[in-house]
Amino acid sequence: MDRRNEAVSDGTVARRAFLRWTAGLVGAGVLTTSGLMSRVLGEMPRSAGADSPAPGGVPSDAPAGKSKLELARFPEKTELILLTDRPPNLEMPAKYFVHDLTPNEAMFVRWHIGIIPTRVDLAEFRLKVGGHVESPLSLSVDQLKKDFEAVTVVAVNQCSGNSRSLFTPRVAGGQWGHGAVGNAKWTGVRLKDLLAKAKVKPGAVEVSFGGLDSAIIPVTAQNPGTPDYVKSLQIAKANDADVIVAYAQNDKELPMLNGFPLRLVVPGWFATYWVKALDEINVLDKAFEGFWMTKAYRVPKGDPKVNESPTDLAKETVPITEMVTRSLFAFPLGGEKVPAGQAVEVNGLAWDAGKGIATVEVSADGGKTWNQAKLDPELGRFSWRRWRYPWTPAAGKHALLCRATSAAAETQVERQWNRSGYARNVIERVEVEAG
C-alpha cells in the first residue's frame, strides 16, 4: 500500500528553461564562485509557490493517507505525480495499472543530473559506437532503422528505487510510491548487431552507454564535478540478443523525457541500465569504473532478495542487475471502497526478470489463507502479466494480499530492507473497505 495519498494541485507554469540558463553559466565559467552564483540566481524568475512553507507539498513522512501529492503536467506527459521538477522525476499514478501496455504519456520519468535534453535535431544526432572496435560507427536514427533488422520486445521498465517510500526505516532518495514502473512495447535494433557491425576487437570486457544528459558542475582539474550518467554491461550481456537500442515505444517515437530519440532497453534488468537519449556506446578492454556503476546503484552481495540489516550493513555490494519477482494490485487500490456482498474482480500485475510468472496467489483474510489467481495470457516473458481473482466481500474492512512466484520458483518476501531502497519485492497488501 502506498504511504502517500493523491491530491491534485497543479503548479505547472509554462516558461523558458532554467537549465539552458544554467548551462550558459557553466559555459561562461561563472559557476565556480558562489558570489556570482548568488547574484545570478537572485535574478531567477519566481512563480507562485516558490516561497510557500512546503512547496513540494509532499511531507512524505506523514502517516499513511495524510500526505498530499502534487501532480504536474510536463511536455508529452499526462498528469503525473511530481517528485521533483529540476531535474524532472515524475511518477505514474496507480490508476494506470489497469493498462497492460502503459501509455507513453503515463510512463514514469527519472533523470539523474542537471542538464537534460530538451531539443534534438535528427539531422545532426548520431549514435556513436566506438572504443575497442575495428570499425567505429556513427549512425543517424534513419540509418539505424534502414541498415539493421528491427526487433520488438514487450518489457517492464522499472526504476531500481520503485516503492522506496515504503522502506522502514526510511531511506534517502527519490521517494517513489509504486509508480516508477511501466510496461511497453519497445522496437529497435539489437545491440549485438551494432557491435558486430563495429567489429569488436578481441579482449573486450565491457560496453559503456552514455546519453545526451550532462552535469551542471562539470568535472575539472580543480573540482571533482558531477559524474556523467554512464552505465556499463559486461560484454556477454551486451551481446545478449534481447538487449536492444529502441527508437519506438508502443509504436511511437519515445517521449523526450523517456529518452528520445534512442534508449537502451535491457529486458529483465532494472531501468538504471536503460540509458535515455543514448548517443555513445563504448567498447572497453577493461572494467568500467564510472561512479554510476562502482558507487551508485549497488545492492548487498549474495542476497537474491536484496536484504540487509540497518544495524549490520552488508560488507560487500555489487551492481544491481535483474529485477526481482513482484506483484501489485490494479483494483482495488489501497483505501478504495468496494460494494459489499457483490462479486468484484480483483486484479493486478506480476512480473519477474524474464523466467515468467508461474502463479499469483491472493489472500483476502490478511494472509491466513491463499488462493490462486487466474493469469491472463502472457504478452512476452519480459512483460508484466495480469492476474484476476473473483471476490465477494462481506461488509467491513479487509486486508487483501498478493504474492507472485516465478517459473524459477522465486517468490516474494514478508520483510525487506536495504540502505538504498532498491528492488522492493515485499508481498503486497492493500486495505479496502466493503460497504
Partner 1 sequence: MKRAIILSAVLGGAVCAWVGGARVRAAEGVAPAQIQGSVRRIELPEMGNGWPEGPGKDVVEVQCGVCHSGRYLTMQPTFPRKTWEAQVEKMRKVFGAPIPDQSVPGIVEYLMKVRGRE
- Listed residue (269, 243, 277, 366) closest to 323, CA to CA: 269
From residue 347 to residue 366, the character string flagging contacts with partner 1 as x (rule: CB under 8 A) and all else as - is x-------------------
Please state the closest distance from residue 219 (CB atom) to partner 1, in A.
7
Q: Is 86 in the site for partner 1 (CB under 8 A)?
A: yes
Q: Is 5 in the site for partner 1 (CB under 8 A)?
A: no
155-194: which residues touch partner 1 (CB under 8 A)? 165, 170, 172, 174-175
Q: Is 120 in the site for partner 1 (CB under 8 A)?
A: yes
Helix extents (H) in 239-330: 291-294
Q: Is 14 in the site for partner 1 (CB under 8 A)?
A: yes
Q: Is 77 in the site for partner 1 (CB under 8 A)?
A: yes
Please state the closest distance from residue 8 (CB atom) to partner 1, in A.
13
- Listed residue (198, 203, 225) closest to 290, CA to CA: 225
Kindly provide the residue ranges of all beta strands, DSSP E only, lying in 191-302, ordered along the sequence.
206-211, 230-234, 244-249, 263-265, 278-284, 298-300
Which of 215, 340, 399, 426 binds partner 1 (CB under 8 A)? It is 215
Which of 6, 23, 37, 126 binds partner 1 (CB under 8 A)? It is 37
Please state the closest distance from residue 360 (CB atom) to partner 1, in A.
14
Binding segment (CB under 8 A) for partner 1, from list 10-18, 194-202, 234-242, 391-399:
10-18
Please state the closest distance from residue 265 (CB atom) to partner 1, in A.
20
Please state the closest distance from residue 266 (CB atom) to partner 1, in A.
25
Binding segment (CB under 8 A) for partner 1, from list 182-190, 233-241, 248-256, 306-314:
248-256
- Listed residue (219, 216, 24, 249) closest to 112, CA to CA: 216
Longest dimension (CA), the chain: 70
Distance CA 374, CA 164 (A): 29
Please state the closest distance from residue 359 (CB atom) to partner 1, in A.
19
Please state the closest distance from residue 78 (CB atom) to partner 1, in A.
5
**Minimum CB distance to partner 1 smaller for 142 or for 365:** 142
Q: Is 368 in the site for partner 1 (CB under 8 A)?
A: no
Distance CA 109, CA 338 (A): 31
Residue 430 makes CB contacts below 8 A (sequence gap 6+) with 1, 329, 332, 333, 334, 335, 336, 399, 400
**Minimum CB distance to partner 1 smaller for 266 or for 402:** 402
Q: Is 32 in the site for partner 1 (CB under 8 A)?
A: yes
**Minimum CB distance to partner 1 smaller for 331 or for 422:** 331
Q: Is 114 in the site for partner 1 (CB under 8 A)?
A: yes
**Minimum CB distance to partner 1 smaller for 57 or for 335:** 57
Neighbours of 224 (CB within 10 A): 9
Which of 22, 327, 363, 412 binds partner 1 (CB under 8 A)? It is 22
**Minimum CB distance to partner 1 smaller for 303 or for 336:** 336
Question: Any idea what the Cα angle at residue 150 is, between residues 144 and 155, rounded to 5°?
Answer: 110
Binding segment (CB under 8 A) for partner 1, from list 103-111, 126-134, 241-249, 361-369:
103-111
278-297: which residues touch partner 1 (CB under 8 A)? 291, 295
How far the first Cα of the chain sits from its last, in Å, is 20
- DSSP secondary structure string, 132-185? SBSS-EEE-HHHHHHHS-EEEEEEEEE-TTTTGGG-SS--SS----S-SEEEEE
Distance CA 401, CA 212 (A): 42
Count of positions (residues) in the chain: 435
Binding segment (CB under 8 A) for partner 1, from list 11-19, 195-203, 274-282, 377-385:
11-19
Binding segment (CB under 8 A) for partner 1, from list 111-119, 152-160, 181-189, 314-322:
111-119
**C-alpha 339: how far from chain center:** 34
- Listed residue (388, 319, 378) closest to 354, CA to CA: 378
- The answer to whether 425 and 413 have CB atoms below 8 angstroms apart is yes
Amino acid at 13: V
Residue 109 makes CB contacts below 8 A (sequence gap 6+) with 74, 77, 80, 88, 89, 90, 257, 258
317-346: which residues touch partner 1 (CB under 8 A)? 330-331, 344-345
